[in-house]
């Protein structure tokens, strides 16, 4: 018979070899299960009232930690949130938009030649099912007008689809005989037919069907693109700025972020705690890369000028993504190596809680990973001297938190050029003292 160390005879009533003798918080129960010491998390008593037998944490403490992390995640989401109203000083009187009507056949030809980017990595919503796809084809055959689609056109003339991806994907797939029509409500005689099974007239009706498109042309600042993107997609799941940036700058930059966010060194250094679903990991890494390149005077603009940071984080990160898309493979490899080494060094010196403000303020309640602290400490660990004397490095980092200016620069609104310059100056002074 199992006797619970906290609840006495409660487990006696549920006598089973599946129940542990101790009561564990969720985090410890998960760790024990993974180690094979706890048969199932479900067998750990829910509603434990006193303390975890492993870490001593009370249920109230765990709930307080979860609430704090939820609040900080909400603050992070606000930082990455869509810009619903771009400031008037960056909005021109008119946006350069051209209306275009193109046939399905012509759009497919442009897609095959690489002139249309469907941006497959940014969409959050699910891919259409066969019924939805079939209804689109049926609507075209019936002559029903479809909603306007929206493209962004970059400086190279490539059109990026911001509204209409599912429609275009469906049409291109049907022309390639990748699915059969099903669940048609009107043209039921076409059920189970692929494009090649249709009559010549029906095939021509689909290929010649005109789609209305609004193309937003350059130059258009990112903050305005985000606003347009948000307005166009407001009926569906709203995307944050990083997700929109990921759509606009598809290429080497997004491939690099995808690679780095899956790095084991990154996951180790951040306690594998960064949410991927809303691209918080990509956002943090892109901030590090941008500020690293800026401090190293390697961030070059389209006119061969050094890019400066002027308190506009979205514009700054957009220019960084554009820069990365134009880098050579060798340059990107060097950047990836720098990032990996910074994460490895950080984990070696600070462990997996080094990017949490609570670590240095000795707070009982653990805070979430700070983006501002992450980017500047990661910058510190790109320097070799950061690992020569780990204890000295840790002590000097902790000393920084006695400096109210530095503390403010990593905890209050962190994106003003004043705050950014201050925290990097403090870090560079620390490096000189190592």
Is the Cβ–Cβ distance between 246 and 279 less than 8 Å?
Answer: yes
More confidently predicted of 237 and 6: 237
Query: DSSP for 9-46?
Result: TTTGGG--TTS-SS---HHHHHHHHHTTSSS-GGGSPT
Q: Rounded CA gap, 223 and 317, in Å?
A: 11
Mean pLDDT of the region 68-74: 60
More confidently predicted of 82 and 152: 152
Decide if 401 is inside a domain.
yes
For residues 353 and 261, membership in a common domain is answered with yes
10, 39, 57: which is the final residue of a domain? 57
Decide if 75 is inside a domain.
no
175, 195, 219: which is the final residue of a domain? 219
Decide if 140 is inside a domain.
yes
pLDDT at 87: 42
For residues 214 and 313, membership in a common domain is answered with no
SS3 158: coil
Q: Rounded CA gap, 330 and 340, in Å?
A: 15
More confidently predicted of 219 and 139: 139
Decide if 232 is inside a domain.
no
Is the Cβ–Cβ distance between 295 and 338 less than 8 Å?
Answer: no
Number of domains making up the chain: 3
CB neighbour list of residue 127: distance below 8 Å, 6 or more residues apart:
166, 169
Mean pLDDT estimate for the chain: 80
Band of residue 14 on the pLDDT scale cut at 50, 70, 90: very low
For residues 101 and 36, membership in a common domain is answered with no
| The pair of three-digit structure tokens given for residue 317, joined into one six-digit string | 């990160």
For residues 402 and 291, membership in a common domain is answered with yes
Is the Cβ–Cβ distance between 66 and 24 less than 8 Å?
Answer: no
Decide if 68 is inside a domain.
no
For residues 309 and 425, membership in a common domain is answered with yes
How many residues are listed for the chain in this entry? 434
| The pair of three-digit structure tokens given for residue 332, joined into one six-digit string | 């990107």
For residues 286 and 423, membership in a common domain is answered with yes
Mean pLDDT of the region 37-52: 43
Decide if 71 is inside a domain.
no
Mean pLDDT of the region 110-124: 76
For residues 338 and 258, membership in a common domain is answered with yes
For residues 186 and 279, membership in a common domain is answered with no
| pLDDT above 90 (res 231) | no
SS3 238: coil
Residues 211-233: b if buried by 16+ CB within 10 A, e if exposed: bebbebbeebbbbbbbbbbbebb
| pLDDT above 80 (res 222) | no
Is the Cβ–Cβ distance between 253 and 321 less than 8 Å?
Answer: yes
For residues 29 and 156, membership in a common domain is answered with no
For residues 303 and 167, membership in a common domain is answered with no
| pLDDT above 80 (res 182) | yes
pLDDT tens string 373-431? 999 999 999 999 999 999 999 999 999 999 999 999 998 889 999 999 999 999 999 99
219, 241, 266: which is the final residue of a domain? 219
Decide if 210 is inside a domain.
yes
Burial-class residue 270 by CB neighbours within 10 Å (0-12, 13-18, 19+).
buried
For residues 26 and 106, membership in a common domain is answered with no
For residue 296, give its domain range: 252-432
The verdict on pTM exceeding 0.95 is no
Q: Rounded CA gap, 110 and 113, in Å?
A: 5
For residues 210 and 269, membership in a common domain is answered with no
Mean pLDDT of the region 328-338: 97
Neighbours of 428 (CB within 10 A): 15
The side-by-side arrangement of strands in the sheet containing 149-153 is 97-103, 210-216, 149-153, 159-163, 116-117
Decide if 320 is inside a domain.
yes
pLDDT tens string 266-298? 999 999 988 777 788 999 999 999 999 999 999
């Amino acid at each position: 018979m199992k006797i619970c160390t906290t609840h006495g005879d409660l487990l006696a009533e549920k006598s089973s070899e599946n129940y542990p003798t101790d009561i564990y918080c969720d985090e410890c129960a998960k760790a024990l299960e993974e180690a094979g010491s706890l048969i199932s998390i479900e067998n750990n008593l829910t509603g434990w009232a006193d303390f975890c037998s492993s870490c001593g944490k009370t249920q109230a403490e765990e709930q307080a930690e979860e609430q704090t992390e939820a609040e900080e995640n909400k603050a992070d989401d606000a930082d990455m949130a869509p810009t619903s109203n771009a400031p008037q000083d960056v909005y021109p009187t008119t946006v350069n938009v051209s209306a275009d009507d193109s046939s399905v056949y012509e759009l497919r030809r442009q897609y095959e030649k690489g002139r249309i980017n469907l941006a497959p990595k940014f969409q959050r919503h699910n891919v259409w099912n066969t019924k939805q796809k079939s209804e689109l084809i049926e609507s075209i055959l019936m002559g029903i007008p479809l909603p306007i689609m929206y493209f962004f056109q970059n400086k190279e003339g490539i059109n990026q689809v911001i509204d209409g991806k599912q429609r275009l994907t469906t049409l291109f797939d049907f022309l390639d005989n990748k699915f059969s029509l099903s669940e048609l409500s009107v043209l039921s005689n076409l059920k189970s037919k692929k494009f090649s099974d249709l009559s010549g007239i029906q095939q021509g009706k689909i290929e010649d069907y005109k789609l209305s498109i609004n193309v937003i042309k350059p130059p258009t600042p990112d903050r305005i693109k985000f606003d347009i993107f948000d307005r166009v997609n407001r009926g569906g799941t709203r995307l944050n700025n990083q997700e929109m940036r990921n759509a606009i700058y598809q290429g080497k930059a997004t491939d690099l972020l995808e690679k780095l966010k899956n790095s084991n060194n990154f996951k180790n250094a951040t306690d594998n705690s960064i949410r991927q679903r809303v691209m918080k990991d990509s956002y943090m890494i892109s901030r590090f890369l941008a500020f690293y390149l800026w401090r190293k005077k390697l961030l070059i603009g389209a006119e061969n000028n050094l890019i400066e940071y002027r308190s506009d984080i979205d514009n700054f990160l957009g220019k960084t993504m554009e820069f990365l898309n134009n880098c050579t493979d060798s340059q990107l490899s060097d950047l990836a190596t720098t990032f990996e080494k910074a994460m490895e060094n950080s984990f070696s010196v600070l462990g997996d809680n080094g990017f949490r403000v609570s670590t240095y303020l000795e707070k009982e309640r653990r805070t979430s990973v700070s983006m501002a602290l992450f980017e500047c400490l990661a910058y510190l660990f790109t320097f070799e001297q950061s690992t020569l004397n780990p204890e000295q490095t840790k002590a000097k980092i902790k000393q920084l938190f006695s400096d109210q200016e530095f503390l403010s620069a990593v905890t209050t609104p962190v994106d003003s050029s004043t705050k950014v310059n201050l925290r990097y100056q403090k870090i560079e002074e620390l490096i000189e003292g190592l």
